[in-house]
Structure 1
Amino acid sequence: MHGPRSSALGRARSAALIGLAVAVSAGCSGGGDGENREAAERTARPPGTHSWTSRPCDLLAGEAPAEGFTLGSTTDSASPDSQEDIGENGARPLYRQTGCLADLKAPDGTFWKLSTRASVYEETEAARRAYRVKQNLDRAHGRGPEKVHDAAYVLSADDQGRPGRTLLLWNGDLVLTVSAYAAHGSTEHAVREDLDRIVDNAARRTEDGLRDHGASSPAA
């Protein structure tokens, strides 16, 4: 199958992969209930409370970034100091940021890149607002964000000729950005599926690693 229809199906499959990462996993992992799996792909994970870490790259270790890929050198980028966001009506909400830059080795021996950036806000509403501002900017600049669900979207990216994918996710007090870039000389069509798997996996593991699993969910 070729043409616009096959392209649309490819985009749908990519969105489903990422949607699955940020979905509610409880109740959807057992058995082979197709209806539950479809619901998981449409539903954001319940809001959580998250903590800052000085070792964000550790959250990506211990599991392959995607089938056939290996994690190479990593660099933590973590500021312990609170920063001020540009708020509304003179407000200056505070957040702390942590992130990881990593080299990935593809099955064919080429080197790809992965980056994560997590902003943990002191207030859930400030995180929600920051996510909406970024989403509106991407729309206004015609970047064509593809909706995953009401709290996440993905869009194509580029890094000096490297085709890439970027996922932006909001969950409770967390705004998470994950980007992956293929090797130089790659075409977006050829690497799109692997990029989505890498971004999907990194987003799931970073959000889960920062989440306080003992805390009650904040108000959405």
Structure 2
Amino acid sequence: MKGSRIAALRRARSAALIGLAVAASAGCSGGDDDGTKGEAAELSARPPGAHSWTGRPCGLLTDAPPAEGFALGITTDSASPEAREDVGENGARPLYRRTGCLADLKGPDGAFWKLNATASVYEDSEPARHAYRVKEDLDRAHGRGPEKVHDTAYALPADDGGRPGRTLLLWNGDLVLTVSAYAPHGSTEREVRKNLERIIGNAAHRMENGLRDQSAPSPSPSPSPSPSPSPAP
């Protein structure tokens, strides 16, 4: 009996050590449950920044593949230098300029995916925050999510004529960024979700980083509203 207990303890200890080694190996290699790697499968929050408009936004996405095994195909810039008006708080009409990129992606099996990234650069961080919050509230009210990525970004499922997709919305300083990706027809959301997350995460990171004005000071956080004074007794 004693020998069998010792043997069982040794087997349990050996299994635990093997499990730790496998976990460490997966952590170092960036692997996950489907055996692939994602450069930005989990998009982390960045400090607020100031951003500049560009007439060639697709150029921000060409330095590296959109995700492992994917290739960027035909791209179309949709940038307009004209300033637009947005409806802000208390009737304010802040200005912003929009720039975007529409791209075809070729998957590892040769199938075609789609990517659409649109950035709105506001004249200040507060109108950008308001625009982001309005969109988030609308998506929540219509039951479309949101699924929090971090405090200033959320994701939700998307659809394009039966093609399963995913959309990411992100706010950083004076920037509101929307990135959507769509898988080939016939795909299921469960099959393609990991790759969709990688694609939109990588595209959002590159767009935000490429539009960021590295020489500009970070915008100050908006002050919290002061509490209303209590009425005199």
**Could you state the TM-score of these two structures normalised by the residue count of structure 1?**
0.81
Q: What are the within-5 Å matches in structure 2 for residues 54-203 of structure 1? A: 54-203=55-204
- For the residue of structure 2 that corresponds to 1:102, the secondary structure is strand
Deviations 1:150-200 (A, max 9, x none): 100001100000000100000000000000000011111100000000000
Q: What are the within-5 Å matches in structure 2 for residues 7-46 of structure 1? A: 18=41, 20-21=42-43, 23=44, 44-46=45-47
Cross-structure match for 2:17: none
* Mapped partners of 2:93, 2:217: distance in 1: 26
Moved over 2 A (4+): none
Cross-structure match for 1:214: 215
* Mapped partners of 1:105, 1:205: distance in 2: 19
Q: Aligned-pair distance for 1:51?
A: 0.2
Deviations 1:24-53 (A, max 9, x none): xxxxxxxxxxxxxxxxxxxx2100000000
* AA aligned opposite 2:73: G
Deviations 1:91-148 (A, max 9, x none): 1010000000000000111100000000000011000000000000000000021001
- For the residue of structure 1 that corresponds to 2:90, the secondary structure is coil
**Could you state the TM-score of these two structures normalised by the residue count of structure 2?**
0.77
Give 5+ residue unaligned stretches, structure 1.
1-9, 11-16, 24-43
Number of residue pairs aligned between Structure 1 and Structure 2:
184
Structure with greater Cα Rg:
2
* AA aligned opposite 2:97: R
**CA RMSD across the alignment:** 1.4
- For the residue of structure 1 that corresponds to 2:93, the secondary structure is coil
Q: Aligned-pair distance for 1:88?
A: 2.1
* AA aligned opposite 1:162: R
Q: Structure 1 vs Structure 2: percent identity of aligned residues?
A: 72
* Mapped partners of 1:159, 1:147: distance in 2: 22
Higher strand share: 1
* AA aligned opposite 2:107: A
Deviations 1:192-217 (A, max 9, x none): 00000000000000000000111111
Cross-structure match for 2:14: none
Q: Aligned-pair distance for 1:87?
A: 1.6
Give 5+ residue unaligned stretches, structure 2.
1-32, 34-39, 222-233
